[in-house]
Amino acid sequence: MGKYILRRLLGMIPVLFIISVLLFSLVQAVPGDAFTQQLNPHVDHKYIEEMREKFGLDKSPIEQYFIWLKNFMQGEFGISFKNKLPVSELISDRVGNTVFLAVITLIITYLLAIPIGIYSANRPYTLMDNTITTFSFIGLSLPTFFGALLAIYIFSFNLEWFPSSGTMTAGAGYTGFRLLLDKLHHVILPATTLAVLSVASYTRYIRSSVLEAKRQDYVRTAYAKGLPRKVVMRKHVLRNALMPLITFFGLDLGSLFAGAVLTETVFTWPGLGRLIFESTVNRDYPVMMACYMIIAISILLGNLIADILYSKADPRVRYD
């Protein structure tokens, strides 16, 4: 197992290299740079040239890439063009918020999707099942930003149940448990908005997975043994049907750090998603590259974790 993990980790190096080249090319392909956009047109051209020189933008793209690569491998993400702050500082300020939002979203997703999916599968083609299916499709086809705006309109403006922005009440100075409650109060609206989309797809998936498991021969065998329905469901149907969720879970782990660009922006949630949005608007290359690389690494690691968990859970899957 140790060998397998090592092999997978080593395999990530070339993948990351290719991803970084692609990302760097894409970022460079956009015409102009941070300074053409940002600075006052009346500012002296010489000053802009000086700034470009200072941040190394006067060099050829290939040269720039290798400078970036060398720094990146040394754990040096560079300085943001816009804030003139180290990128690592910007990211570490935001990453906690993003992970908090993502974890709450995941919890809401699983708590809703698994019971709804199983309920649906146990009563296929009934009125209730069809209703759930209909709502799943509505959830799937609703754009996130629209859902977010709708949620803010209903639950913040009209009902005033939840705040529409921020991660905590500014200036309240809460500590300890009170602070946690305050944070939860702020996270529920964006997290639920994000969860609606994944609940919809998870529900569909779990429903079909459970339905398929129920048709299996070994389920009939279990009934023939004289097992009660509950035991058949738990030990034979669900144990097999929910196995593929591990793969989903791994992908979700990867997206923990990716942030939700649109949702974070609509809710002015200071996370990585919004950082990506802001840095893209400002052509802030060092920030963009660092964020994209973090996403790439976390998705690769999430996949690896899913594969490891799968081999632990399913006796048919073994890695040596």
Q: CA-to-CA distance for 307 and 313, rounded, in angstroms? A: 10
Which residues, including other chains, have CB under 8 Å from residue 297's CB and lie 6 or more apart? 12, 16
Identify the bridge partners of residue 79 per DSSP, sorted by sequence position: 86
Min dist. Cβ of residue 320 to other proteins (A):
15
Span from 34-42, 113-121, 235-243, 299-307 in contact with other proteins (CB under 8 A): 235-243
CB of 229 to other proteins, least distance (A): 9
Options 228, 251, 312, 319; binder of other proteins; rule CB under 8 A: 228
- Select the residue interacting with other proteins from 64, 208, 216, 282 (CB under 8 A): 216
Of positions 46, 127, 316, 320, contacts other proteins by CB under 8 A: 316
**Residues 62 to 91: which contact other proteins by CB under 8 A?**
none
Q: How far is the CB of 217 from other proteins (least distance, A)?
A: 4
Residue showing tokens 């669900």: 238
Least distance (Å) from other proteins to the CB of residue 242? 11
In the numeric block, the tokens 């509505």 are attached to: 138
Binding segment toward other proteins, per CB under 8 A, in 88-96, 134-142, 152-160, 213-221? 213-221
For other proteins, the binding residue among 47, 66, 137, 223 (CB under 8 A) is 223
Tell me the CA distances in angstroms from 37 to 24, 32, 33, 50, 165, one per residue in order: 19, 7, 7, 16, 28
Q: Which stretch binds other proteins (CB under 8 A): 19-27, 34-42, 69-77, 232-240?
A: 232-240
86 three-class SS: strand
Q: Give the closest residue to 109 by CA, choosing from 185, 183, 201, 189.
A: 201
Structure tokens at 9: 């980790």
Report how far residue 77's alpha carbon sits from residue 182's, in angstroms, rounded to the nearest whole number. 33
- Asked if 295 contacts 258 with a C-beta cutoff of 8 angstroms, the reply is yes
Interaction of residue 22 with other proteins, rule CB under 8 A = no
Ranges of H-type helices in 215-228: 217-224
Q: Binding to other proteins (CB under 8 A): which residues in 279-308?
A: none
Please tell me whether residue 246 binds other proteins under the rule CB under 8 A. Answer: no
Residue 86 pairs in a beta bridge with: 79
Element (H, E) at 318: none
Q: Is 211 in the site for other proteins (CB under 8 A)?
A: no
Binding residue for other proteins, selected from 123, 178, 220, 312, defined by CB under 8 A: 220
- Residue 178 vs 220, nearer CB to other proteins: 220
Cβ-based nearer residue to other proteins, 31 or 226 = 226
Rounded CA-CA distance 35/51 in Å is 8
Verify binding: residue 240, other proteins, rule CB under 8 A.
yes
Nearer to other proteins, 85 or 128 (CB): 128
- Helices 87-122 and 176-214: crossing angle in degrees, nearest 10, is 40
Question: Where along the sequence are the contacts to other proteins (CB under 8 A)?
Answer: 216-218, 220-228, 231, 235-236, 239-240, 243, 314-316
